[in-house]
Chain A
Amino acid sequence: MSSRPISSRFIASQIIEQVIEKKITLSIALHNNESFKNAGKDKALIQEICYGTSRWYLQLEHILNQLLEKSIKKKDSRLKYLMIIGLYQLLYMRIPSHAVVSETVETCKNINMGWAKGLVNAILRRYIRESDKLDPLLGDNEAAQTSHPHWLIEQLKQDWPDEWQKILDANNQRPPMYLRVNQQHHARDSYLLKLKEVEIEATATPYSKQGLLLKQATDVEQLPGFNAGEVSVQELAAQLAAGLLDLKSGQNVLDACAAPGGKSAHILETQTDINSLTVVEKDPRRAEKLSETLNRLNLDAIMKVSDINELDSWWDKENFDRILLDAPCSATGVIRRHPDIKLLRSAKDVNAICELQKTLLNTLWRTLKSNGLLLYVTCSILKQENSDVIKEFINNNNDCMLKPINAQWGIDTGYGRQILTGQDNMDGFFYACLEKKC
């Protein structure tokens, strides 16, 4: 007898189990799962279930707990994840409910837990029967209703008293897919025509001259000229960085924390006459990703695989005219792209990461020329990592001056400009431009 084909539902529930129990990111859990890699045409379904379940996990878990009469034993926890992905399919996917129930029950047999068929069947059917009664009850529980952790809701209420509800809502939407046209190959309009030929619908974006918004997310292999470097995938908010650096011919530029390299590539594509771009990345695997990006686009940079804070290991004492610091952050601005952030991040993590942001700023400030600019960027929407960091830095450094950003996008915080997730259909990003006085 051959082993049974591994059910897509089981693969999805295993991946969710990894995220929750092992605290690893969804993209790594997917990447490490051999069954997922070999799932062929079911890959799209598994991915949809995993991303969607992460997005609504806190809500689905709350519903499951209400449906269960007693909690599931630790050793049978895989059943819990199987039922949670079952609930996701019932609540958020257009799969007929009888098919969800029968596939989930069948999966119990597939994983040698045939004894649990009755339980799984009863729980899913009970939800179908009682959803009219259960769904309104969610309203009383903010965390379950919005599927966000309590700490984050409270923090957003405090930081953005008028906007927090909109942010939570935007976090739960599917993210749009943006492209950046490589202007060394094409003007934006001519690439738009190329897309039209292959019937991919797109529109030009505001704020970035190279930006395109796809009507529908598309596999990059389908994009004309992708492998030849004619176009890259990059969130619109991230495409603002290169313009804000105010690059001039002959300058020496540093991109700190550069991987995966989108912003580095954008700098090199749009300002071909700078003297040099140095890219630094600590993590060797991410550095590899960075060089892949640059190779595909046929761009040159001086690459250092080093920790920024260990200046001696990478810096040749030549000061930079421009520094882009895309700082490590909570990534609370990109939750719609990485819904697992809601499940992995804690308030404590944010405190630790803030210390790192401050250290990086202090270190890099020493490598900046007088009259040079440092652009501080995060994909966070928390004040603690953004305007608070900048305010403290300016107060502690007499030679630092905030250069105002005059833009149509985002909100002026007094210490940098904040885009809140969903504003102009962008991810939540923060930008502050710091000038070093003589």
Chain B
Amino acid sequence: MAILEVLHFPDNRLRNKAIAVESICSEIKEIAKNMLETMYAESGIGLAATQVNIAKRIIVLDLSEEKNEPLILVNPVITKLEGTETSREGCLSVPDYYDTVERAEHIEFNYKTLDNQLVKTDSDGLLAICVQHEIDHLDGKLFIDYLSPLKRQRLKKKIEKQEKQEGKVL
């Protein structure tokens, strides 16, 4: 097991589109385990493979307070979006920034488990938001893409400035 490096906006590799997993071999299981470990280490509730520079359609989630209900979704696909809901989101690739994003309130989706079982399910609330957020990553999209261009520009400047300062300290 290993903790992987999480890419930070505005890293261009976050824009890569992930490719479907063809067979769930031991390599995929290893990747999923490492992703979970990374997500827990970063106190996240969801992580997509794109964020750790792996171009495969895998996401991991855990919304429980005790961090003991991990979910691994291989090749997740949303089949139905219903209603709208706004809430504040944050992202491990955009540290310390939260903003309000509009999403579908209720979704139907399917995915494969590590045992190669196809699961069809639906969800609302935080899980629905999180699944939409992570599948966006697999398509090279970030939650801040939904913000106004002005807000996004300001955020980019702020992050560049921060990194410059951190660079100086080093």
List residues of A whose CB falls within 8 A of some B CB: 1-5, 106, 109-110, 112, 114
Chain A residues within 8 Å of B130, by CB: 1
Asked if B163 is an interface residue, CB under 8 A from chain A, the answer is no
Closest chain A CB from B96 CB (angstroms): 9
Smallest CB-CB separation from A110: which chain B residue?
B88
Most chain B CB inside 10 Å of its own CB: which residue of A1, A2, A3: A1
Closest approach, in angstroms, between the C-beta of B113 and any C-beta of chain A? 20
Question: How many residues in B have their beta carbons less than 8 Å from beta carbons of A?
Answer: 23
- Judging by beta carbons under 8 Å apart, are B43 and A3 in contact? yes
A-B pair number, CB within 8 angstroms = 43
B92 touches A2 (CB 8 A): yes
> Which B61-108 residues have a C-beta within 8 angstroms of A?
63, 85, 87-92, 95, 98
User: Are A2 and B88 within 8 A (Cβ)?
Assistant: no
Residues of chain A within 8 A of B88, CB atoms compared: 4-5, 106, 109-110
The answer to whether B44 and A1 touch across the interface, beta carbons within 8 angstroms, is: yes
- Cβ contact within 8 Å between B90 and A5: yes
Say yes or no: B92 contacts A112, CB within 8 Å: no
Given contacts A1-B134, A5-B88, A114-B126, 4 further A-B contacts (CB under 8 A): A2-B42, A2-B43, A3-B43, A114-B85
Known: A109-B87, A112-B125, A112-B126. A3 touches B98 (CB 8 A): no
- Which of A3, A4, A109 has the most chain B CB atoms closer than 10 A to its own CB? A3
Q: Is the CB of A2 within 8 A of B125?
A: no
Does A2 contact B45, Cβ atoms closer than 8 Å? Answer: yes
What residues of B have a CB within 8 angstroms of the CB of A112 in the complex?
Answer: 63, 125-126
B98 & A5 in contact (Cβ 8 Å cutoff): yes
Give A211 to B133 CA distance when docked, in angstroms. 59
Q: What is the CA–CA distance of A432 and B19 in the complex, to the nearest angstrom?
A: 83
Per-residue CB contact flags for chain B residues 3-20 toward chain A (1 = under 8 Å, else 0) read 000000000000000000
Name the distance in Å between B147's Cβ and chain A's nearest Cβ: 16
Q: Are A114 and B42 in contact (CB under 8 A)?
A: no
The answer to whether residues A114 and B133 also contact, given A1-B46, A1-B91 and a CB cut-off of 8 A, is: no
- Nearest-neighbour CB distance to chain B for A69, whole angstroms, equals 25
Per the bound structure, the CA–CA distance linking A6 and B28 in Å amounts to 33
**B12-59 contacts to A (CB < 8 Å):** 42-47
In the complex, chain B residues whose CB is within 8 Å of the CB of A5? 88, 90, 98
A2 to B51, alpha carbons, bound, how many Å?
Answer: 12
**B47 (CB) vs chain A CBs: closest residue:** A1
Q: Given A106-B88, A109-B87 in contact, is the A1-B125 Cβ separation under 8 Å?
A: no
Asked whether, in the complex, the Cβ of B44 is within 8 Å of the Cβ of A4, the reply is no
Q: Chain A contacts of B89 at CB under 8 A? A: 1, 4
Query: Within 8 Å CB of B47, what residues of A?
Result: 1
12 contacts between A and B (CB under 8 A): A1-B44, A1-B46, A2-B90, A2-B95, A3-B45, A4-B89, A4-B98, A5-B88, A109-B126, A110-B88, A112-B126, A114-B126
Contact B92 A1 (CB under 8 A): yes
* CB-nearest residue of chain B to A114: B125
Q: Once bound together, how far apart are the Cα atoms of A112 and B45, in whole Å? A: 13
Chain B min CB distance to A102 (Å): 11
Residues in B with CB closer than 8 Å to A4 are 88-90, 98
Which B residues are in CB contact (< 8 Å) with A2? 42-45, 90-92, 95
Q: What is the 8 Å Cβ interface bit string for chain B, positions 119-160, against chain A (1 contact, 0 not)?
A: 000000110011001100000000100000000000000000
A106 — nearest CB in chain B belongs to which residue? B88
Q: Closest residue to A109 on the B side, CB-wise?
A: B87
